[in-house]
Structure 1
Amino acid sequence: MTQNTPVSPRPVHGVSHRVQSAAQLRANGVSAAQTATHCLPGGPWQQLLPGVYLLHPAPPTNDDRVRGALLYAGRPPAGARRTVPVGSGAGYGEAMVTGLAALALYGFTSAPPVIALHRIDVLVPRTRRLRSTRFVQVTRTAALPLPQRRVGVPLAPVERALADAVASLTDAPTVRRILTEAVRGGYCEPASVVTELNTAKLLGRPHVVDAVDALFVEGRAVAEGRLYETVRSHGLPEPLWNVELSLPGGGFLGGVDAYWPEQAVALELGTRSPLEEQFAFTAEREQLERLGVTVVRVTPKRLRESVAQLSVVLRTALMAAEDREPAAYVVVLPR
């Protein structure tokens, strides 16, 4: 056999994926020497990453690179006993894909496809002593989130993936696009994204601050659209939209997103930042309720996930107006 003649590998029984770790190959009866032989120039296998092998000679696909990155980052520390059974989904440990690669796997159109990325970010526990290598960027965290699975691939939650992606980006338009898509696509709410960005200490970056402003604008537009649809699809009376309420003498009471003047019921969308929500809404609500106005607060998450329940709450509040004392007269002006 000449040097360039491909080596014919032994059939590997029990292997259901063409990317395997060294530990998985050993468990299936392939010795380290056999693996090294198969990976010789002209051979049928190739080493994708340290301790991770591609059981074909063609360039790695998206799936190959993602699985390889997880096998590399999820392998047990040196000297640790293996507790995860060998199989197509084994070997990932606590590792999960994050950053732009995770967003691409979630289906974000604003994120480059995985195959176009120069790196795949993988999240692991802080205690792991693992180096970034080739196309794998290892990110350690003290508080590992609960992964979401897409086609068997563990992904960091969208908010965490967004924060890790933003941490690696300096291009303001790209940051703005991915944050906007996260809200517009219904992946998460603005407040939860801002909380994650704040935890990652990214809110001090000017291009991130600008993108967060746009994020809340987008979140409000999406929530308003859902609110309009809820009112109309459930046969609720049409309110006055986006108005300001004040006392006849001119004392400002606050702005509301919907107001039913005959029933004195106001609705406010919780689309402001967490601090604004904590202080401003409480003060406005107390003022209005002292005047006999019923205030319903709706979060974007509730509006997205519990539309039927919200319609019942609103209908109940409108019907209960008949049994209440008449509210004080308030002036209604466009906002």
Structure 2
Amino acid sequence: MAHNTPLRALPLQQRRNVQRSVLTERQLKEHGVPAGLIADRSRNGGPWQQLLPKVYLLHPGPPTNEQRLQAALLYAGHSSSRVPAQRPAMVTGLAALALHRLSSVPPVGELEVIDVLVPHQRRLRDAGQVRILRSQTLPNPDEIMGLACAPIPRALADAAAVLDDIDLVRDLLVEAVRSGRCVPSAVLRELDAAGLLARPTIAEAMDAAVAAGRAVAEDHVYELVRAGRLPDPLWNVSLYRPDGTFLAAVDAYWPDQGVTLEIDVRAPGFGDEDWHEESRRREHLEGLGLCVLYVTPEKLRDAPELQAAVVHTALRISADRPPAALVVALPR
């Protein structure tokens, strides 16, 4: 092959443009480019650039943000063996959150580090701006602009694990939940799996995200009642026995039908004792003849019509139940 063989002569046209311009040494060799020509063209002042070990940009000038991310994935996915990795490498942390378009994250071009998540058995070092994060459990990646990207909950956990700026961590968690991009329980699972909830600052940041998630879920319940043409309940009330004994705080209460509804949002630290207390409280309310409904933010977001049907059914069949005990509802 001549020194000046143009790249377009190689059989690369089937690839996306960004993938044609960022290739590994192995990919180049598979397309007939010998090692000597790769080294020659990627010397200083040459038409190609080596962005990372064995990863090349096939034009002069700075790489685009997408090319930087593609190079990071190619580097992390590279193996000296011809056996492919069991699970793909994926962008995570702040870079992934930038791909997911969270406004609290600086643009990719302003990030000093691109975090890439790989299987724990991969033997790979950090290189350039790429920081390798290993894990025994990798999520199924999302695809954004053709790039493998960690889902938002996992990207949040990976970012929180390495960030020193707790205000940024809080902003990221709250924005992700408030925007409806993910629900608090999914973030809690990832933070807990990473052991991050043991850090008081992370737990406090998650508390703020849970509060934001509850506000979003409450909006969904209001819309559920309106769109489902359900009778208006008493909103956000505390229930008491006539003698003043506190029973429960509920998000919605239909006194004529004896139906209560609560949004099931778990805060950090919700443990076995809390489960027992919640079960005891529910049994007590049901023992008084009340119908107790629980809805999660996930179900409110993903299946609002089904949740409206559940509430409608509970209200409709209330006449078939024995009358509930007298309960006093007061604003909370």
TM-score (norm 1): 0.91
- Evaluate the alpha carbon distance shift between residue 117 and residue 47 of structure 1 in structure 2; reply closer, same or farther with a 3 A threshold: same
Structure 1 residue ranges without an equivalent (≥5)? 1-6, 85-91
For structure 2, list consecutive stretches of 5 or more residues without a partner in the other structure: none
Task: Report % sequence identity.
Answer: 49
What secondary structure, in the 3-state scheme, does the structure 2 residue paired with 1:179 have? helix
Which one of 287, 292, 295 corresponds to residue 290 of structure 1?
287
Structure 2 residue 211 is the aligned partner of structure 1 residue 188: no
Task: Specify the alignment match of 2:30 in structure 1.
Answer: 27
1:52-71 correspondence runs (5 A): 52-71=55-74
Aligned partner of 2:116 in structure 1 is 122
- How far residue 207 of structure 1 moved from its aligned partner, in angstroms, is 2.4
Q: Which has the higher mean CA deviation after the structures are superposed, 184-193 or 216-225?
A: 184-193
Aligned equivalents of 1:69, 1:82: Cα separation in 2: 19
The equivalences for 1:1-335 within 5 A come to 8-11=4-7, 12-15=9-12, 16=15, 17-76=20-79, 78=80, 80-82=81-83, 94-273=88-267, 274-275=270-271, 278-335=275-332
Note the C-alpha offset of 1:278.
2.6
Write the distance in 1 (CA, Å) between the matches of 2:243 and 2:51. Answer: 74
Shift of 1:290: 0.5
User: Which amino acid in 2 is paired with 1:241?
Assistant: W
Matched letter for residue 51 of structure 1? K
Q: Which moved more, 1:147-156 or 1:54-63?
A: 147-156
Offset, 1:253: 1.0
Deviation per residue, 1:149-190 (Å, 9 max, x gap): 122211112111101101121112111110001101212211
Could you list the per-position Cα deviations for residues 31-89 of structure 1 after superposition, in whole angstroms to 9, with x for gaps in the alignment?
1111111112221100010000000101011111000000000012x2x22559xxxxx
Secondary structure of the corresponding residue to residue 198 of structure 2: coil
The question of whether the paired residues in 1 share the 8 Å contact of 2:220 and 2:300 is answered with yes
Question: Equivalent residue of 2:140, what SS?
Answer: coil
Matched positions, count: 320
User: How big is each residue's C-alpha offset from its partner over 1:114-168, in whole Å with a ceiling of 9 and x where there is no partner?
Assistant: 1111111001111111000101000111112221212221111211110110112
* SS of residue in 1 equivalent to 2:197: coil
Secondary structure of residue in 2 paired with 1:203? helix
1:10 is matched by which residue type in structure 2? Answer: P
Residues 256, 266 of structure 1: 8 Å contact kept:
yes
Partners of 2:206 and 2:219 in 1: how far apart?
A: 20
Which secondary structure state, in structure 2, belongs to the residue aligned with residue 124 of structure 1?
A: strand
CA RMSD of aligned residues (A): 1.7
Q: Is the Cα contact below 8 Å between 1:126 and 1:141 reproduced in 2? A: yes
Q: 1:93 to 1:41 in 2, by over 3 A?
A: farther
245-254 vs 99-108, greater mean Cα deviation: 245-254
Distance in 2, matches of 1:232 and 1:327, equals 26
Query: Residues 94-124 of structure 1: CA distance to partner in whole angstroms, max 9, x if unpaired?
Result: 2011100001111111111111111110011
Distance in 2, Cα, partners of 1:277 & 1:328: 26
Q: Report the TM-score, using the length of structure 2 for normalisation.
A: 0.92
Tell me, in whole angstroms, the C-alpha distance in 2 between the residues paired with 1:163 and 1:119: 16
State the one-letter code of the partner of 1:35. I
Alpha-carbon separation, structure 1, partners of 2:212 and 2:276: 22
Amino acid at match of 1:317: A
How far, CA to CA, are the matches of 1:222 and 1:278 in structure 2? 23
User: Counterparts of 1:147 and 1:253 in 2: how far apart (Å)?
Assistant: 44
Q: Which moved more, 1:224-233 or 1:145-154?
A: 145-154
Corresponding residue for 1:89?
none
Cα distance between partner residues in 2 of 1:189 and 1:30: 48
